[in-house]
Amino acid sequence: MSLEDLEAQVKKLSMRATDAKLALHDLSEELPIDWEKIPEVAERTWAVFRDLDAARKAVKAAKLAAKGA
């Protein structure tokens, strides 16, 4: 995957992470309504931030590799 592709992936994941964070925040503000959704929303939020972290690390590694080349 090229550096440009990785950076595009980070951008996409950043938008998804923002959406997930807002969904978790909205859910917390409405508690105790829909308290049953906490695990589902939290899992989605955790997963997207995990993926974002991995993508950011891949971009960093690709940049370091490009400097060394």
The answer to whether 4 touches 53, Cβ cutoff 8 Å, is no
The range of the structural domain enclosing residue 37 comes to 3-68
Mind listing the pLDDT tens digit for each residue in 11-66? 999 999 999 999 999 999 999 999 999 999 999 999 999 999 999 999 999 999 98
Domain count, the chain: 1
CATH number of the domain at 57, please. Answer: 1.10.287.660
Confidence at 68, pLDDT banded by 50, 70, 90 = confident
The pTM of this model reads 0.89
Q: Give the per-residue pLDDT at 69.
A: 67
- Distance between CA atoms of residues 41 and 8, nearest Å: 25
DSSP 8-state code for residue 37: G
